[in-house]
Chain A
Amino acid sequence: MEERVWIKDEGIEAGAAKLTPEKIEKTINAVFDNETGARLKAYVETCIHCGLCSDACHFFLSHDRDPRFSPVGKVKQTIWPMLKNKGKVSVEFMKQAVQVAQTECNLCRRCVQYCPFGIDIAYMMSLVRRICHKQEITPLYIQDTAHSHAATMNQMWVKDDEWIDALQWQEDEMRDEFPNARIPLEKEGAEIMYSVIGPEPKFRTQLIYQAAAIMNETGMDWTMPATPGWDNSDMAMYTGDSEMMGRLKRMHFDTAARLKVKKIVMGECGHAFRSVYDTGNRVLGWRMPPIPVIHALEFYWDLLNEGKLKVAKTFDEPVTFHDPCNVVRGRGLHEKAREVVRAFCPNFIEMIPNREHNYCCSAGGGVINCGPPFKNARVEGNRVKAEQLKATGVKVCIAPCHNCHGGLEDIIHTFELGIELKFLGEIIYEHMEKPNAV
């Protein structure tokens, strides 16, 4: 096998420079002893090294079946030596382990569906990330995002007044089209709290406009918070910073509780949904989220089926649909999404594989958030996605997830696919009946 290329990252290097063998051993054993139990032991002892998880992984397939990129290959490069040597591993080993776990696995859980025993390798990669977090060798860019969460309670260093300002700006813009439209702030007792991720007010404000238009035109009783807690995103979940994840989710749920809403509706984001619906609630001791959490895809489906959302004209160009891992493998929204897509886009073409077996975009799991040093590796690691997109022959792809957009955009650009990406809300906004528009 040819030598692997290990990427230099300032955050990893700076953290590694401060690592000592004692600290490495202590942190690894602290995590294994205090934060794991029967699950990890059963996974490691049950795995019979059959390699059957390999075909699930886009990194493995895109690297011409290089075994170092197979799911179990990643466990071999991280967890096994840590356990075998009881935490006595080198600094160099940790630098490589963090690259494997943090940038070469999207925690997409496709391999879980391929393992005969249902071993959750994503869980094991998360453990490695947790160890790396405690050793302070998390890659620079995603750590910066985690710092933003800690300092501002949102992902993008958005200041409190900037948030309100962005919403009022969008409300202002909307009034050209819908003279009476509102983005209600702090409306206590509203049915819905609508929450978004930090990048929406920062650089995708049109999505707030579109969502607000849908809310207004379908007659929803909704509100957005004017305080921190509006951001549902969570990169701390992906750096292994469980404490910060708990703070974030608590503030999000607390905000919804303060506003006395009946449910939280979230924008088209995958990782945030995983955090609010599946992970963050557990950290806080809730078996399931304390307030119902509805992803945009499900919300659109509800509106359509309740007759509140009506199709004015269809989008006739051939389109394909990318199933985001966190709302499909994470919530099973694939059929509902298809019903909405088909209602608006009669010329719908499946990519293969699809639904819960779709390939990940390679941006998720915090991988795109590790930033420019890892961009090329991330895109090259998902050649199969480019081939899968190309085979559909379409020029428009709907991807209802922010991270998927980022990842697919880079793939489309690098492999010169000439495909335009859209959020589903974008198509709905442009093609729905707008009774209040002028």
Chain B
Amino acid sequence: MQDIYLLVSGPLAWAAWAIFLFGSIYKIWKTLDTAKKKEQVLFSYVSLKYGLRSIINWSIPFNTVNMRLNPALTAISFFFHIAFFVLLLFVSAHQVMLGEGFGISWFTIPDTLANILAFGVLGACIFFAARRLTVPEVKYVTDWTDFALLILVVAPFVTGILAYYQIGNYMLMIILHMLFAEAVLVAIPFTRLSHMLLAPLTRAYIGSEFGMVRNVKDW
């Protein structure tokens, strides 16, 4: 078990981060390069001002008409995305690993808060799944891959919680926690999780079209 732990926390972690990093750079480069080769005209319609205007307006909770139409989903989605990164960056256990590995560390959040956030993420994912099962317009466009991605994303949180409370085999949970987290990293550039990378591009483009050409808000 110890060997597996070392493998997962060592070489596999390096590999996952590398795939994530280079995969993400490749994904963004590939998108821009394809655009340059096949739809170069699109670049004529990109404006920094209106692209940023759109990104900023869509980053403020309840700022857009549609966010206000769906208050519960808006609140939960914002919470989910923020909690995801807060937990990744500021949980004390992650800081311990960083400290041991690289001798660096920064601000951490108290374990109680981390617990609340982790359970919150769990709840958010249950909400997303319930929405996929019950809201007709979402159910209609949902297939098994949507659930697979959701399970993949929630798995590190479930195992993280189990490990924290030492439910089941602690070492096994830690290993699974790291494995799932590494799987998420690897999946980001190659699945629909790539919205993390491409959404700023699609948003900036349409924001520019609406702002610069059509003189109108896109929110």
Of residues 42 through 96 on chain B, the ones whose CB sits less than 8 Å from some CB of chain A are 42, 44-45, 54, 58, 64-66, 69-70, 73
- Chain A residues with CB below 8 A from B202, complex form: 42-43, 46, 117-119
- Chain A residues with CB below 8 A from B41, complex form: 282
Distance in Å: Cβ of B96 to nearest Cβ of chain A: 33
Distance in Å: Cβ of B18 to nearest Cβ of chain A: 22
Indicate with 1 or 0, residue by residue over A50-85, a CB within 8 angstroms of chain B CB atoms: 111011100010000111101011001000000000
Distance in angstroms between the alpha carbons of A113 and B207 in the assembled complex:
10
Distance in angstroms between the alpha carbons of A50 and B132 in the assembled complex:
8
A31-39, A92-100, A250-258, A308-316: which lies at the B interface?
A31-39
A413 within 8 A of B: no
Distance in angstroms between the alpha carbons of A55 and B66 in the assembled complex:
8
In the complex formed, the residue of A with least CB distance to B142 is A49
Distance in angstroms between the alpha carbons of A51 and B139 in the assembled complex:
9
Distance in angstroms between the alpha carbons of A65 and B70 in the assembled complex:
15
Cβ–Cβ contact B138 & A51, under 8 A: yes
Indicate with 1 or 0, residue by residue over B202-219, a CB within 8 angstroms of chain A CB atoms: 110111001001111111
- Chain A residues with CB below 8 A from B201, complex form: 42
Q: A38-B32, A55-B66 are in contact. Are A67 and B141 (CB under 8 A)?
A: yes
B137 touches which one: A38, A70, A329, A357 (CB < 8 A)? A70
Indicate with 1 or 0, residue by residue over B11-44, a CB within 8 angstroms of chain A CB atoms: 0000000000000000000011011011101101
Distance in angstroms between the alpha carbons of A116 and B67 in the assembled complex:
9
In the complex formed, the residue of A with least CB distance to B146 is A49
B198 within 8 A of A: yes
A287 within 8 A of B: yes
Distance in angstroms between the alpha carbons of A228 and B213 in the assembled complex:
28
- Chain B residues with CB below 8 A from A428, complex form: none
A41 within 8 A of B: yes
Cβ–Cβ contact A39 & B39, under 8 A: yes
In the complex formed, the residue of B with least CB distance to A356 is B216
A113 touches which one: B31, B70, B219 (CB < 8 A)? B219
Distance in Å: Cβ of B121 to nearest Cβ of chain A: 17
Number of contacting residues on A, CB 8 A? Answer: 46
A37 touches which one: B39, B141, B216 (CB < 8 A)? B39
- Chain A residues with CB below 8 A from B214, complex form: 278, 329-332
In the complex formed, the residue of A with least CB distance to B40 is A37
Cβ–Cβ contact B216 & A60, under 8 A: no
Indicate with 1 or 0, residue by residue over B126-146, a CB within 8 angstroms of chain A CB atoms: 000000000111111111001
- Chain A residues with CB below 8 A from B44, complex form: 287
- Chain B residues with CB below 8 A from A112, complex form: 206, 210, 218
B109 within 8 A of A: no
Cβ–Cβ contact B198 & A68, under 8 A: no
A172 within 8 A of B: no
Indicate with 1 or 0, residue by residue over A329-371, a CB within 8 angstroms of chain B CB atoms: 1111000000000000000000000001100000000000000
B7 within 8 A of A: no
In the complex formed, the residue of B with least CB distance to A278 is B213
Cβ–Cβ contact A38 & B140, under 8 A: no
- Chain B residues with CB below 8 A from A60, complex form: 137
Distance in Å: Cβ of B146 to nearest Cβ of chain A: 5
Cβ–Cβ contact B199 & A117, under 8 A: yes
Cβ–Cβ contact B218 & A118, under 8 A: yes
Cβ–Cβ contact A117 & B34, under 8 A: no
Cβ–Cβ contact B205 & A51, under 8 A: no
Cβ–Cβ contact A70 & B198, under 8 A: no
- Chain B residues with CB below 8 A from A70, complex form: 137, 140-141
Distance in Å: Cβ of A323 to nearest Cβ of chain B: 10
Distance in angstroms between the alpha carbons of A298 and B44 in the assembled complex:
25
A328 within 8 A of B: yes
Cβ–Cβ contact A73 & B32, under 8 A: no
Distance in angstroms between the alpha carbons of A399 and B203 in the assembled complex:
31
Distance in angstroms between the alpha carbons of A37 and B34 in the assembled complex:
6
In the complex formed, the residue of B with least CB distance to A287 is B44
- Chain A residues with CB below 8 A from B207, complex form: 118
Distance in Å: Cβ of B5 to nearest Cβ of chain A: 33
- Chain B residues with CB below 8 A from A48, complex form: 146, 192, 195
- Chain A residues with CB below 8 A from B65, complex form: 113-114, 357
In the complex formed, the residue of B with least CB distance to A42 is B198
Cβ–Cβ contact A38 & B39, under 8 A: yes
A120 within 8 A of B: yes
- Chain A residues with CB below 8 A from B213, complex form: 278, 288
Cβ–Cβ contact A120 & B206, under 8 A: yes
Distance in angstroms between the alpha carbons of A47 and B31 in the assembled complex:
15
Indicate with 1 or 0, residue by residue over A409-431, a CB within 8 angstroms of chain B CB atoms: 00000000000000000000000
- Chain B residues with CB below 8 A from A36, complex form: 38-39
Cβ–Cβ contact A46 & B141, under 8 A: no
- Chain B residues with CB below 8 A from A47, complex form: 192, 195
Cβ–Cβ contact B142 & A116, under 8 A: no
B194 within 8 A of A: yes
- Chain B residues with CB below 8 A from A117, complex form: 195, 198-199, 202-203
Cβ–Cβ contact A49 & B138, under 8 A: yes
The 3 closest A-B pairs by CB, nearest first: A37-B38, A332-B215, A118-B206
A-B contact pairs, 19 of them (CB 8 A): A37-B38, A39-B35, A42-B201, A49-B138, A49-B192, A54-B137, A60-B137, A67-B137, A68-B140, A73-B137, A113-B64, A113-B219, A116-B66, A117-B202, A119-B206, A287-B45, A329-B216, A331-B215, A357-B65
14 further A-B contacts with Cβ under 8 Å, apart from A38-B42, A73-B137, are A37-B38, A39-B39, A39-B205, A41-B31, A48-B146, A51-B138, A55-B70, A68-B140, A70-B141, A117-B199, A118-B54, A118-B205, A119-B206, A330-B214
